[in-house]
A and B are shown apart, each in its own frame.
Chain A
Amino acid sequence: MNSRWHWRAQREKTAFLALADGTVFHGYSVGAPVDALGEVVFNTGMTGYQEILSDPSYSGQLVTMTCPEIGNTGINAADMESARLFANGFILHEMNAPHNWRSELSLEECLLRNAIPAIAGIDTRALTSKLRDQGTLKGYLVVSGKIAEPQAVRLAAEWGGLDGQDYAAKVTCKQPYRWDEQGKLSASWGIADSLPEADLKIVAYDFGIKWNILRSMRRNGMAVTVVPATTSADEVLALKPQGVFLSNGPADPAAVTYAIDSARQLLGKVPLMGICLGHQILGLAGGGRTLRLKFGHHGCNHPVKDLKTGRIEITSQNHNFTVDPQSLDPAKIEITHINLNDLTVEGIEHKHAPMFSVQYHPEASPGPHDPYYLFGRFRELIIRA
């Protein structure tokens, strides 16, 4: 009977997470037998590990979930946010066998198939508290048994991290493509039963775009052509879009210089909307600066205030960088949304050009749907323009 459980391996804890500051957390492997470097971040969402793991923005990061019971609902095709898992590694307290009618695959099996390492048996609260106090740390997740602890610590410390790194180039699509022309991917269980006619032509920059952004745009009647991150403004304009969207994506926005240039050129010529990295790029294109947050915002419970209406929305967030409000020219850019926890910028709007962007994720997935209306706002912006 004991062969069904892996109690011995769980107590032996031969896998470990080495942090650049020398701390080592021990656990056991519950993913692929490969080691991985990454910036360690925590996510406080209590649901949605699948969406998080398949979000390309997590590329370069080792994600830990503060929620202790993980894997409960398995993995299913409909909930993917991209074609595969993107996080560099996964750190959790307890890995569970799935029990949910939508589950098609266990999380453990999925991690194996995607060659993503994962470690369980970690006191994730201890890890989270450390990250909160010290800020994001670089880490080396070792499950292969091939690297010794001191070496792993050294490798983590020596690794350059994500500052100044252009990861968008790594995760973007290679060729432009049209999203879901048959309308099969945009309507599925729990999202929508039917779709309106797609009457607006949108080009979306893929810096690591989440599928639910694409689903949400399609649900708002937008026919979307997804283009690689390096596509120039001229190439985009040649497609005669009615609106251009700048997506979320991993790592440092300041490093994506070509996209900032493109955004600058597009500004004023076509209605623009940005989410997350796309928002930061628009901020930079508008003359602003971006800063690194101590440990970022990663979760599903961040209160954001719409400064125009006074309404609060509970939002899904995933970012390490933020637009510096001091750097924005008040004559051109207006701050429209702020985070109520730390008062950081969550949304901006151009005063003269049709452009708005938000730092958080109106497409949710995972997370609350409160800001979903923003896709409608993009639609209105286009129609008005």
Chain B
Amino acid sequence: MPKREDIKKIMLVGAGPIVIGQACEFDYSGVQACKALKEEGYELVLVNSNPATIMTDPEFADRTYLEPLTEPILEEIIRRERPDALLPTLGGQTALNLAIALHDQGVLKRYQMEMIGARAEVIRKAEDRNLFKEAMTKIGMDVPRGQSAHSLAEALKIQAAMAVFPLIIRPGFTLGGSGGGIARNEAEFRTIVERGLAYSLNSEVLIEESVIGWKEFELEVMRDKKDNCVIVCSIENVDPMGIHTGDSVTVAPAQTLTDREYQRMRDATLAVIREIGVETGGANVQWAVNPANGRMVIIEMNPRVSRSSALASKATGFPIARIAAKLAVGYTLDELRNDITRETPACFEPAIDYVVTKVPRFAFEKFPAADTTLGTQMKSVGETMSIGRTFKESFQKALRSLETGRAGFGADGKDGPQERLSDAELTSELERPNAQRLFAVRAAFKRGWTVSRITELTQIDPWFLGHLEELAAFEEEIRSAHNLDGLKQNLALFRQAKEYGYSDRQIAFLLAATETGVRQARESIGLKPVFNLVDTCAAEFKALTPYYYSTYGTMDEYRPDNRRKIMILGGGPNRIGQGIEFDYCCVHASFALRQAGFATIMVNSNPETVSTDYDTSDRLYFEPLTLEDVLNIYRREQCWGAIVQFGGQTPLNLTKALEQNGVRIIGTPPASIEMAEDRKLFQELITRLGIRQPNSGLATSVEQAERIADRIGFPILMRPSFVLGGRAMVIVYNQESLRKYMAEAVEVSEDRPVLIDDFLDNAVEVDVDCIADGESVVIGGIMEHVEQAGIHSGDSACMLPAPTLSEPIKATIRKHTIEMALALKVCGLMNVQYAIKDGEVYVLEVNPRASRTVPFVSKAIGVPLAKLAALVMAGSKLKGLGFTREVLPRHASVKEAVFPFVRFPGIDTVLSPEMKSTGEVMGIDMNIGMAFLKSQVAAGSVLPVDGNVFVSVRDSDKDAVIPLARRLCALGFTVYATEGTSTVLRDHGIPSQAIFRISKGRPHVLDMIREKQVGWIVSTPSSGETPRVDEVKMRAEAVIRGIPITTTLNGLESAVKGLETFRETRRMEVCSLQEYHRHAPRLKLTAVEKIA
């Protein structure tokens, strides 16, 4: 049956900002859907608040709304656009929840919109615990025993009836299981139930029989409107039930099921999708299997594409989201082609002849106070995937892809923490699910512990443990070569080690050699990997799409290609400080260079991304971003050049070694990158240019640090030498803290000194992105931070155009930026951070590479900076490309950061030089206050329009808060304040209610928060020492209750401005990017005049 002709205009809702549990996989699925629907000729209206997504690039839809994902805004867009249909299944839980809300409020009906992909009843049946259970029982599925509760009292009654611990508690309608947990006793039970009820959008928790320790599986299924169903992929968790799938190591295909068990699961999965009624598109069903008797219970199903479907797509080559979009508009599976083979239909079940391993990436180092034990609530911030012919190879590749400094499954000189544990400690590390547990497994095998003993402690299936045991033992086999020469003489053993996935680095460690030595030895005897295809069909048909992985096999499927090839190195797994923004830049580079006639070679290991979609680049290598793996590809492909400046810190860290090995780094010379990172060289440069910098120094000892502090005076900013996302960076206010930092916080050595800067208190921070081609420099945007200097730029809200900077200051900034870009011979992008204090401009940091703000700026000004940069790097000039002048948009754009605090109960939410945000949103409006308000709403911090606001500011802010408080009152807010602030306000004639400090008496602010008497908190942290316990408690409580907190007066002022505008208009106007960009410069993106 052909596509539907009765619908013309389709609205697609994205997933919003990157948060734990909802990452860039929804950009990947959204982009596929956009492409799929556009090629069918539908008109697309896209809504997403996340500017770092590819899907919000204006060319992917006819109308792109970078607006908050809320019901009123969506209704506003619907009113304006009048789409025929809403496709809600590709934007994660966010889109699904919004679609349900629009349906329930009658909006869809009012505007005669049809929900395609999944109807509201279907979504409800899948998501409502009771309805789901009922449906499952009806079709004879075994479910964990349990019941849902809507209050603590009800929950306790259920617990009493079940009379068993542990119990699993899951809140209804949330993302990635937030607020859930495992209760082992009544006290834990009460805490988790209360938390769960607060998180659940419908105040519901499900209390369930524990299937902890069972095997966990997931099947990805697709269905078309004729009821044809296929299973795309089976996924088995290495970590047992009880650990969120997002936090589990998983493999595809399932490894430990007999055909009978697998088919039973397949039958059940098809029965589930049919009963729930997902008419078209993808879904996934999770199963728990008792390893002792095969009892299989259903855990849950998602009636939409998900993180797992992104993984399944990358694991098999089957584009689930693309197919789901086509099915939603009426096609059937047999009418669609398999893009990879192009001969066979999409109606089949992929067969894979390799093993895929996914490993989650955590960021606990960012949240030292957070509980690192893994449970049903997802805590990982990213993931990496790898492909190998065997589990061993795949697993080792996955661990070295993880960007945690590990070279594989141990044997890399970093096993100390686990090897040093006592037997008792090791036992407890094996029992407690945590991010390092697999390394503890290795340590246990090294001690001769048996598979059965470790199975008992970890509940990891013995099949996997057997392989890990063999790997741990094989280290000795490698060592039996005595030294590198010995291994070189024994090609068979060398090859076997590579087949088992050992990296050159591991082999170097085991044989006390160097990585370079191992590589040279390996290459000298012709031991190189081959590249095999991911082809959906286990080689049964010829595959046309060049999607490769490396392995040590005998057949290389590499196809020669004489075009000029540029390799783009991606960013690896998402983590805090390195997210979707860098993938966005890589994807843009690929798009632009392909259009200009180059063949692009993408290397990345992150399955969530658009960069690892098989048609983003001419060739995709799903490989770890290590020197060894990248060099293998570069040499095999004989690339013309490589781009390292788009993928964030991961490829940058490889730059030097790549260059030493003959890789031609195109764009800004690596020496310039180094110069910008080397304090001394950089200082010389800017002194020469006459640019100011905060006073600074380098310390390798406490004494030295103290001397520097004496010279420049407290407060100072301290950090280790090489950082990304502000790791371990702190503001230090006194001697005592300085000593503590030197002693505890960082490893200090001669070649890794601690950097000390004068901290410019209360300065305005500014971010500048520019692009240069060696001859000319054009400013992309000057962004003013809402938060003062001292808060990591990735965490601060910023505004473009800069609202408070004077023209002379801006002129100075432009001048400095251009001078530095020219002096550093920048060819491509450069980001500079400035601090403005007392009318002086200081340079804080220069990064001659793509920055986190590139997508935001590109969308604000309507110029794709990363595309331009890629072309410039390939030899084009800005003049030829048509980008010669800074764009000064008439509308205002505000970027706001989004934080994962809600995942880590109890930790302080105050911002610091250490980056903590996982994602970002953008607000655009003609009015800057309104743009700010939109950014807050989009970030989930919905400011009230009236009611009670609690204000508590530090002493230095007391004067400045007065006019703002007055305006709040004028807006109709009732101001509550602690005594100090309240007195100041009343002295200035502002009515305010005084309440107690938490430590002084009641009612205090926590009471107000709990009783929902306060709708907004303004709290500027007291400067100096560690924040007061009071403040930490208040902020943590507010985060859990979802009460917006404003922590700077700049933020407050912007918010007040926005609310004032809102009071006049009473609604938020929406406008598409295409309209905002009407005046953007016309570029000639295909022009590559000269290739070096």
Contacts and interface: CB of A to CB of B under 8 A. Distances in A.
Interface of A: 1-2, 4-5, 7, 10-13, 25, 42, 44-48, 50-51, 66-69, 72-73, 76, 78-79, 93-94, 96-97, 99-102, 123-126, 128-129, 132, 189-191, 299-303, 305, 310-312, 314, 340-341, 364-369
Interface stretch (B460-468, B873-881, B1079-1087): B460-468
Contact of B463 (A4, A99, A189, A303): A99
B492 A11 contact: yes
B390 A132 contact: no
Contacts of B230: 314
Given A45-B351, A47-B257, A366-B259, 14 more contacts: A47-B263, A66-B539, A66-B540, A73-B258, A79-B258, A79-B260, A97-B466, A99-B256, A100-B463, A190-B258, A299-B538, A301-B350, A312-B334, A369-B266
B638 interface: no
Interface residues of B, number: 66
22 contacts: A5-B470, A7-B477, A42-B539, A44-B351, A45-B351, A47-B262, A50-B259, A68-B354, A69-B355, A96-B463, A99-B461, A99-B462, A102-B258, A125-B353, A126-B553, A128-B540, A129-B555, A190-B261, A301-B349, A303-B334, A305-B334, A311-B226
A98 B263 CA distance: 19
B292 interface: yes
B410 to A, nearest CB: 16
Contacts of B466: 96-97, 99
Nearest to B263: A369
Contacts of B333: 312
Contacts of A76: 258
A129 B543 CA distance: 11
B539 A100 contact: no
Contacts of A129: 539, 555, 557
A2 B348 contact: no
A246 to B, nearest CB: 24
Given A69-B390, A73-B256, A300 B463 contact: no
Shortest 3 CB-CB contacts between residues of A and residues of B: A48-B259, A126-B555, A66-B538
B390 A340 contact: no
A48 B263 CA distance: 10
Given A12-B492, A312-B333, A340-B344, A44 B538 contact: yes
A101 B334 CA distance: 38
A317 to B, nearest CB: 11
B263 A368 contact: yes
A365 B266 CA distance: 13
Interface in B248-281: 253-264, 266-267
A11 B259 contact: no
A125 B334 contact: no
B790 to A, nearest CB: 53
The A contact surface, by secondary structure, is loop
Given A79-B260, A341-B541, A93 B389 contact: yes
Contact of A67 (B226, B293, B492, B538): B538
B263 A364 contact: yes
A11 B496 contact: yes
Contacts of B390: 68-69, 93-94
Given A48-B259, A93-B389, A341 B294 contact: no
A368 B270 CA distance: 11
Interface string B327-360: 0000001100000000111011111111100000
A327 B294 CA distance: 48
B355 A46 contact: no
Interface string B230-259: 110010000000000000000001111111
B839 interface: no
Interface of B: 226-228, 230-231, 234, 253-264, 266-267, 291-294, 333-334, 343-345, 347-355, 389-391, 448, 461-463, 466, 470, 473-474, 476-477, 492-493, 495-496, 532, 537-542, 553-555, 557
B420 to A, nearest CB: 22
B263 A312 contact: no
Contacts of B462: 99
Contacts of A67: 253, 351-353, 538
Contacts of A301: 348-351, 537
B391 A69 contact: yes
A44 B334 contact: no
A125 B539 contact: yes
A307 to B, nearest CB: 12
Contacts of A101: 291-294
Contact of A302 (B231, B256, B260, B348): B348
Contacts of B470: 5
A190 B347 contact: no
Nearest to A122: B554
A11 B495 contact: yes
Contacts of B260: 78-79, 102, 189-191, 365
B348 A314 contact: yes
A368 B234 CA distance: 13
Given A2-B477, A12-B492, A302-B348, A102 B294 contact: yes
Contact of B493 (A11, A42, A123, A312): A11
Contacts of B463: 72, 96, 99-100
A79 B257 CA distance: 12
B538 to A, nearest CB: 4
A68 B539 CA distance: 13
A79 B259 CA distance: 9
A189 B295 CA distance: 11
Nearest to B261: A190
A47 B538 CA distance: 14
Contacts of A25: 554
A366 to B, nearest CB: 4
Given A44-B540, A314-B349, A341 B344 contact: yes
Contacts of A126: 553-555
A311 B1003 CA distance: 67
Task: Give the most central of B255, B260, B293: most A CB within 10 Å.
Answer: B260
A123 B555 contact: yes
A49 B554 CA distance: 24
A72 B391 CA distance: 12
B542 A132 contact: yes
A10 B293 CA distance: 34
B489 to A, nearest CB: 13
A304 B557 CA distance: 30
B345 A340 contact: yes
A73 B257 contact: yes
Nearest to A44: B351
Nearest to B552: A123
A12 B124 CA distance: 59
Contacts of A123: 553-555
Contacts of A11: 492-493, 495-496
B1073 to A, nearest CB: 40
Contacts of A303: 334, 344-345, 347-348
Task: Give the most central of B254, B294, B466, B538: most A CB within 10 Å.
Answer: B538
A312 B347 contact: yes
Given A2-B477, A190-B264, A132 B539 contact: yes
A340 B353 contact: no
A50 B261 CA distance: 13
Given A11-B493, A302-B348, A128 B353 contact: yes
Contacts of A300: 349, 351
Contacts of B352: 46, 67
A312 B255 CA distance: 27
Nearest to A364: B263
Contacts of A5: 470, 473-474
A365 B234 CA distance: 18
Nearest to A10: B496
A16 B226 CA distance: 48
A46 B352 CA distance: 8
B1060 to A, nearest CB: 60
Contacts of A340: 334, 344-345, 347-348
B494 to A, nearest CB: 10
